[in-house]
Amino acid sequence: MHMERYQRSRNTDDLNLAIEKGGAAATIAEKHGNKLGEKLGVELGKAYGNLASCYQYRYQREFGKDWKNDITRSVETTRKALRMTPPEDIDHTVMVVALGRRLNMLYGQDHDSKHLGEAERLLQNALELMPPDHKSQGDALSAQAGLQWRKWQTDQNTKHLDNAINLVRQSKANWWSEVNFLWRRARARNSPDDLTAGCNLLLERVRDEKLGPLERVSCARYAIRLIGTLHFEGYAAEKMASWLLVWKNEVVENAIKLLPAACNRLAVDGCSLATKSGDTERALRRLEYGRGVILGHLIDRNDDLSDLTGGFPQASNGYQELRKRAFRQPTSRDKEDWEVFLRDRRIAHHELREYEEKIRQLPGFDRSHHPLSLQELQQCAAEGPIVAANITDISSDAIITTQDAIKCVPLPDMERPGAPMAFNRAGKGREMQNLCRSLNCFLDQAET
C-alpha cells in the first residue's frame, strides 16, 4: 500500500514506510516459514522482491543519508527472493531480469566488471529460456540495452550504442531510451539522421491525443532540447536555422496549448528557440503565454476581477468558485486518495475553461483571460522599458519592450552552468553581478 502511494505521490515518507513494512513482512515470513507466511498474505519470494524494489527506488531517488548502499541491499535482497522462488514460477524470470538491471546499477557505482558480466549472463540466459510471448521479454531486452549503454559509457565505442538501439527497438517498450541512445549516437557520429529519428519519436507522442497533457508537454520540451543543442562540427548555420523554424511551429505552438498551467518550462524553451531564429516578437509572445512576465507586474496571480464583479457579480462569483476548485492544494486527506483528487481537479479545470468562454460572450469582456497582444504589451512600457531575462541551456537572452519596439540582446555572461546558480543565490554571488552587468549593457544598447 505504501509503495503504491509513493508511486502516485513521490513522497519519500511513503517510500521509507514501504521499506520498513516490507522488511518486517519479509522477517515474519522467514521466521515462521512459508505456511504461516501464506496465512499472513506474505510469500517469502514476493516479500523480498517487493523490498528489493523499494531499495532500488530509494537509490534512484538519492534519498537518505545511506542511499548509496541501497543498491547493494537491493541486489542482495533480490538474490534472496530468487532463492526462495521456484524456477518454474512465472515470477522467477521476472526477478532474474530485475537482478540483471540492479547489477548494472551496482556496476555504475563501483565499476566492478564482475557485476556487469554477471548481469549480462543472467539476462542472456533468461532470454534463451523464456518463450517468445513471455511477459518479461520486453523488459529483458530493454535491460540488455541498458548494459550496452553502460559499456558505451565505459569505452565510448559507438558499436555499443548500435546494439542498444537495436535491442530497445526489439523490446517495443522503452522509446525514451531509444531517443536518448539516438541522441548520443548523433553527437558521437555527427549524424543529423539520428537526431531526426529521435525528434520524430518525440513528435509522434506530442501529437498522440491518447497520452496525457503532461507527457505530451514533456516530449515537446525534450525535442526542443535536442534541436537547441545542435552543435555538429561543420553543420551549416542555415541548416540549423531551418531546423529551428520547422520544429518551433510543430512542437511549441501545438504543445504549449495543451496545458497552459504546466507550460512554464516549455514557454521559456520556446522563447529561447525563437530568439535563436531571430523572431523576437514570437519569443516575447511565448514567454508571456507561459510565464506572464509583464502581466504579472500589472495584476496579482488571481487576476483582477473588479470590472467583472462590478458589471456581472453572479458571473464573477461563479468564476471565483471554479477557480478555487481548479487550483485547490491537496490536503492530507487528499493524499490518501490521490487519483480522486487529480480527477476532481481535471474536471474543475475543464469547467473553468468553459466558464471563461461564457465570460467572453459578455459585452466588453471578449478579451477576458486572453494573453495580451503585442500592442498591449508595448503599452505597458509607458513609464519606461520592461526587461525580461530568459536563461536556458538553449540560449540566454534579455528581451526589452518599449512603446516603440521589442528588441533582444544575448547575455553571454549567463550561459550555463552560471545561470542557475545566479538565481539560486538571489544576488549574493558573482553570477548575479554578471547578470546585472549584462542587463546594463543591454539597456545602454537599447537607448542607442
Summarised one tens digit per residue, pLDDT across range 181-236 is 998 898 888 887 888 888 888 878 877 877 766 677 677 777 777 766 554 433 43
- In angstroms, the Cα distances linking 45 to 58, 70, 85, 95, 373 are 20, 19, 5, 9, 62
Residue 359 backbone phi and psi in degrees, to 5 = -60, -35
For cell 540492479, what's the residue? 102
189, 215 contact by CB (below 8 A)? no
pLDDT of 130 over the 50 cut: yes
Dihedral of the alpha carbons of 13, 19, 25, 30, in degrees to the nearest 10: -160
Across residues 35-40, what is the average pLDDT? 47
pLDDT of 25 over the 70 cut: no
d(CA 131, CA 310): 71
> Sorting pLDDT into bands at 50, 70 and 90, what band is 415?
low
Instruction: Name which of 116-120, 126-130, 252-256, 275-279 the model is least confident about.
Output: 252-256
> Sorting pLDDT into bands at 50, 70 and 90, what band is 429?
very low
CA 341 to chain centre: 21
Across residues 291-300, what is the average pLDDT? 47
For cell 541498458, what's the residue? 146
pLDDT digits (tens, 9 = 90+) for 137-188: 888 899 999 999 999 998 999 999 999 999 999 988 788 899 999 988 988 8
* pLDDT for residue 105: 92
Instruction: Name which of 189-193, 356-360, 365-369 the model is least confident about.
Output: 365-369
* pLDDT for residue 323: 82
| Residue that wins the pLDDT comparison between 169 and 341 | 169
* pLDDT for residue 33: 58
* pLDDT for residue 255: 56
d(CA 255, CA 425): 32
Long-range contacts of 378-387 (CB under 8 A, 24+ apart): 378/402, 378/403, 378/404, 378/406, 379/403, 380/294, 380/297, 380/298, 385/443, 385/446, 386/294, 386/297, 387/439, 387/442, 387/443
pLDDT digits (tens, 9 = 90+) for 53-98: 888 888 887 665 677 788 998 999 899 888 888 887 777 888 899 9
Return the closest-CA partner of residue 437 out of 406, 413, 409: 413
pLDDT of 119 over the 70 cut: yes
> Sorting pLDDT into bands at 50, 70 and 90, what band is 101?
very high
d(CA 217, CA 254): 9
* pLDDT for residue 422: 41
Return the closest-CA partner of residue 142 out of 185, 178, 112: 178
> Sorting pLDDT into bands at 50, 70 and 90, what band is 122?
very high
Side-chain-facing half-sphere of 447: CA atoms under 13 Å: 7
* pLDDT for residue 387: 87
**Inter-helix orientation angle 175-189/213-228, to 10°:** 10
pTM over 0.75? The answer is no
pLDDT digits (tens, 9 = 90+) for 254-276: 555 555 545 566 677 778 878 87
Across residues 355-384, what is the average pLDDT? 82
